[in-house]
Structure formats: C-alpha cells, structure tokens
Structure 1
C-alpha cells in the first residue's frame, strides 16, 4: 500500500466530512493566501522606506525571490510530470476544488512553494513575523491537500524548495540591491525618492 496515497485518501475523506463552511473556507484560502502574502510584501516595502538601505533592499527582494522560487518550481514540475492525485489515486473521494487538467503537474506544489518562499523572505525582513508567516504557509500548503489537488509530499517539497530557493536568492541579491537602494535614495527624481524612501535619518528629521 502506498502511504502517500493512503494519507491523501484520509485527508480528503476528512475534508468531505467537515461542515460546508469549512470546505468553502479552505477553497477560498488556498488561493487567497497568495493575496495575503502579497499584501504583506507591500506593507514590508512601505515600512522599509524609513529603514536602512539594506532593510529596504531585503524588503524589495522578498517578492522577487518568491517569484524566482515559483519559476524554479515550474521548471522542476516539467521534469517530474507527476499526475494530480485527484485523477491518479484510486478510491479517493472527489476533490473539493476542480482537478487541474493533465499537463498541470502535481510535484512540487506551486502554491506551497510560494507559501514557503513568502514566509521565509518576510522573516528575513523582520524576524518576529515568523509567528505569523510560518502558520500561514503551513495552512496554505495543507489546504492544497485538503481540497484534493495535491499529494502530501507535493506540499512538503514545495515548502522546503520555496524556502531554500528564496533564501538563497535574497542572500545573493542583498549586497547589489543595497548599493542600488543607496544610489536611488540620492536621486533628484521625486518619484524615485518616494518609491525608495529617504531612510531613517530623514524620517527622524521629519518628526522633529
């Protein structure tokens, strides 16, 4: 017996036994989680405008690194070409979400990759966010199995893969992005200065 198939059946069977509002919430959250992480990136950028050039650079790199992780996940998907469990697992209940078409492969989960990358990069922006981003990422990953469109190993791999790729991307880009932020903050263009902010000293001067 395939353990992953059995676990998938158990989780999706449990999902069908939950109240309708729980099922609908899971279906919404599996997509809305991406929007929430996107909103957190915007807040992180806005707050970083009054921070150091390095803090600003990391905040801007966070969504970029997440996008890099997503693209890498798509490349990996095409190499494995694993069918979705909502078609491949015999004896499983119908998925709550519509089963993606053949060719939209299962491994790794793009949603989980984005969740893992977003969670880690936001923690790099501000460490205290781990208490928010980690549970959100785990919940988003689990929801992909709950609604029936991924195996458990798809989302575990996605979380780990996204976190690693994004962390490496931020680390690699921080130094050049910091130098760029320093240069842009001295720009004479008002629009550029608004996008980048003017750093902690200017923010302090405005409060005096």
Structure 2
C-alpha cells in the first residue's frame, strides 16, 4: 500500500496518523483563563522536546468551526499550564474530560476531579496524578489554517510534582508503579507495564 499524503483528505490523514503513530503519551493539560475559570483536557499529540531548557509540547487541533481548544485559548491569556501524566487508574476520568463543554465550564468541577494548588504557576494540577509538570509558555506555533489545523504549544518545565508511590528503592521512577497509558487508534489505549530491555550500543 502506498499513501499519498498530498492527496488525502484531512479526515483520512488524521485516521492514518493516529492509527500508525502509536503508542502516544497523553498530556492531561490543566489551564486557567484570564477570568479564573479552570480547564482540564487530554492531548495525545504530546512529547518531550528538549532537556536544556526542559521543554515539552502538546498540540491542539482547531475544530470544524475554526475555533481553537479551550486549553490553547487559556494559555494565550494566562501563559502557564500543567501537564499531568495519566496512569491506568485515572483513564476513565481522563476520558471524561474529552467531553466538549462550553468555554469557561470547568472539567474539574463537572466531573468531580480533585485539583491541588501548583507551586509556581496559576493553573491547578490534578491531585491524583503521579507526575505533574508545571510549565510556563515558551511559544505557540500555528500549523495550517482553519478547521483541522493545529496550535502547537511549547512550554518550559519549571518544576514537577512526583508521587513517592511511583518511585523504586533507588529513588527513581519505577515504570510498573507509574503505570501510564498510551493512546492507540480509535478508542484504544495501552498500558505501559509490558516492558523489555535492549541495551544501547556503546
């Protein structure tokens, strides 16, 4: 099979990308608007970018009406956000926050998700998240125009909250205890407990 991405429709392009680029880590992003309304939404177009400075990114698609995600709108108003990692235990709660809500209605309140104060940014973090990265906006890059285009948000990590429950005896992350999930195609997810080791060449 050969796919010509220059001729595929945006819908088909999206389908092929999300079903082949797997598993994708999930950024559960909390933001706050200029008027103080919180937002919590998941993004699977998410990745670490650089460790010096410590930088990550998430990408929010523009909807069919040409409107950006609430998370992106909020970051434009208050240039801070928190990336909460999603373990298996929080998968259902995370999925609920993908529900389209009117701008300004809080997913924390709507779905009974407990928040906790952040240390250096204004948006709250998810209290039960095993890892939460507090970030300050570096830049937003816009790719494309109109529906199905995207706003890519880059943030500098200023601090992190890591639960002691996901640390091993060496004080480092134990992947089995962290138990994060990854996004596959469609409604499918994967747990990250099925590990194997391949030593890097020296």
TM-score (normalised: structure 2)? 0.26
Higher RCO, 1 or 2 (CA under 8 Å, sep at least 6)? 1
Q: Which has the larger radius of gyration?
A: 1
Structure with greater strand share of residues: 2
TM-score (normalised: structure 1)? 0.26
